[in-house]
């Protein structure tokens, strides 16, 4: 059954991500009263971004180019990307995982997405291939439903960048709300083999972020774990006008083998007020692209033939589902020889 139009989208598995309903609600409940533009400098799996109602102008960023490739693929070539994902034979998923995790020449977005959806803990770090365990085949079911189409529609018109967080806090804009979820403090102190994501953040990076928040003309909300040393709180003192809200949340990811849980802080440089209004942007977003439209008919025919030749027991209906086309399209492709 297709998801209701504004239901949050769960695209990626992300350690420390904010895709759990309670985490999403907690952050969104603290948005400013008026939001003309949403910015997320450490987007990761986009737990909060993908829970926003459609139509809010947005800018998302992350320093990990492989992760950002997935956002760009879904924004700029959604049909091709979805088709590439659906061509994977579910019976050969592990084989495909073992191949792509070592293949630096593979489509960057496809490689990241497949590994992220099926690897242990959603952790993608190609520098440590021995830690990339295929453990979640069900994660690939995501390509069967409407998630890719909905994510693509959500990303239409969104500015997507790969780089450091600083420009998103500094660049001028109107009624901008920045939601920043930097790498957890604990990530930097873990040995490289245990880190939740590739790009760690040092204490100095946290201090640099705090300086950028102070200098920002925008409303900024930051997520932090409430560390026992009070480091996060010390960076944003109440005496300077920062507000700190706390909640006990469980979030995605594991630390030291156990499920991560703990007290979360939301640090604000503004008063969230009581009523939240998300202003729609100027251009309405298109409806999610339902069936895949193939720009290149020859490529589609070749894929149909390839699938048919690879596995004669595969029904034409299954081939149609995998390529996101109708049964009659597959029949006419085969008839065309």
Find the DSSP H helices in the chain.
Answer: 21-28, 65-76, 78-86, 93-100, 108-118, 147-155, 166-170, 185-189, 203-215, 231-235, 297-310, 316-323, 327-335
- Smallest distance from the beta carbon of 314 to ligand SAM, in angstroms? 35
Question: Which of residues 225 and 289 has its CB atom nearest to ligand SAM in the complex?
Answer: 225
Binding mask 118-157 for ligand SAM (x = CB under 6 A): ----------------------------------------
Q: Are 304 and 319 in contact (CB under 8 A)?
A: yes
Mapping DSSP onto H, E and C, the string for 18-73 reads CCCHHHHHHHHCCCCCEECEEEECCCCCCCCHHHCCCCCCEEEEECCHHHHHHHHH
Question: Which of residues 83 and 115 has its CB atom nearest to ligand SAM in the complex?
Answer: 115
Cα of 182 vs its chain's centroid, Å? 14
Q: Which residue has the tokens 């967080």?
A: 165
Q: Which residues from 200-219 bind ligand SAM, rule CB under 6 A?
A: 201
**26 touches ligand SAM by CB under 6 A:** no
- Smallest distance from the beta carbon of 271 to ligand SAM, in angstroms? 23
Q: Could you tell me the sign of the dihedral formed by the alpha carbons of 265, 62, 150, 117, in that order?
A: negative
Q: How far apart are alpha carbons 237 and 171 in whole angstroms?
A: 24
Q: How many CB atoms lie within 10 A of CB 178?
A: 23
**Site size toward ligand SAM, by CB under 6 A:** 22
**80 touches ligand SAM by CB under 6 A:** no
- Smallest distance from the beta carbon of 93 to ligand SAM, in angstroms? 24
Kindly indicate which of the ranges 139-147, 181-189, 261-269, 296-304 contains the residues binding ligand SAM, using the contact rule CB under 6 A: 181-189
Question: Which of residues 19 and 31 has its CB atom nearest to ligand SAM in the complex?
Answer: 19
Kindly indicate which of the ranges 71-79, 195-203, 240-248, 290-298 contains the residues binding ligand SAM, using the contact rule CB under 6 A: 195-203
**183 touches ligand SAM by CB under 6 A:** yes
Among 17, 32, 272, 288, binds ligand SAM (CB under 6 A): 17
Q: How far apart are alpha carbons 303 and 80 in whole angstroms?
A: 12
**164 touches ligand SAM by CB under 6 A:** yes
Distances in Å between the Cα of 130 and the Cα atoms of 82, 133, 136, 251 are 28, 7, 16, 26
Q: Are 96 and 115 in contact (CB under 8 A)?
A: no
Q: How many CB atoms lie within 10 A of CB 79?
A: 17
- Smallest distance from the beta carbon of 16 to ligand SAM, in angstroms? 4
Question: Which of residues 55 and 167 has its CB atom nearest to ligand SAM in the complex?
Answer: 167
Binding mask 35-64 for ligand SAM (x = CB under 6 A): ------xx-xxxx--------------xxx
Question: Which of residues 63 and 83 has its CB atom nearest to ligand SAM in the complex?
Answer: 63
**253 touches ligand SAM by CB under 6 A:** no
- Smallest distance from the beta carbon of 181 to ligand SAM, in angstroms? 3
Name the residues that contact ligand SAM, by CB under 6 A. 14, 16-19, 41-42, 44-47, 62-64, 164-165, 181-183, 197, 199, 201
């Amino acid at each position: 059954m297709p998801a209701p139009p504004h239901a949050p989208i769960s695209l990626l598995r992300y350690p420390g991500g904010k895709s759990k309903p309670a985490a999403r609600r907690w952050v969104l409940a603290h948005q400013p009263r008026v939001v003309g533009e949403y910015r997320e400098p450490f987007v990761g799996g986009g737990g909060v971004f993908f829970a926003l109602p459609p139509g809010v102008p947005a800018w998302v960023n992350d320093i990990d180019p492989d992760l950002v490739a997935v956002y760009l693929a879904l924004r700029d070539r959604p049909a091709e990307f979805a088709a590439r994902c659906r061509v994977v034979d579910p019976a050969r998923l592990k084989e495909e995982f073992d191949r792509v995790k070592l293949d630096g020449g593979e489509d960057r977005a496809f490689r990241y997405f497949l590994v992220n959806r099926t690897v242990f803990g959603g952790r993608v770090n190609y520098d440590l291939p021995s830690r990339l365990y295929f453990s979640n085949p069900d994660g690939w079911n995501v390509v069967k439903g409407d998630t890719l189409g909905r994510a693509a529609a959500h990303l239409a018109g969104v500015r997507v960048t790969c780089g450091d967080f600083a420009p998103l806090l500094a660049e001028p804009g109107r009624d901008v709300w920045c939601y920043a979820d930097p790498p957890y403090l604990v990530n930097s102190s873990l040995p490289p083999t245990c880190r939740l994501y590739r790009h760690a953040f040092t204490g100095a990076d946290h201090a640099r972020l705090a300086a950028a928040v102070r200098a920002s003309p925008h409303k900024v909300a930051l997520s932090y774990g409430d560390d026992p040393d009070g480091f996060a709180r010390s960076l944003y003192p109440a005496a300077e006008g920062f507000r700190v809200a706390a909640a006990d949340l469980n979030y995605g990811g594991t630390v030291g083998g156990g499920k991560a849980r703990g007290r979360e802080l939301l640090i604000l440089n503004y008063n969230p007020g009581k009523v939240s209004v998300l202003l729609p942007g100027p251009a309405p977003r298109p409806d999610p692209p339902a069936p895949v439209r193939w720009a290149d008919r020859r490529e589609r025919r070749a894929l149909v033939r390839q699938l048919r030749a690879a596995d004669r027991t595969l029904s034409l209906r299954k081939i149609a589902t995998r390529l996101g086309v109708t049964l009659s399209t597959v029949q006419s492709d085969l008839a065309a020889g």
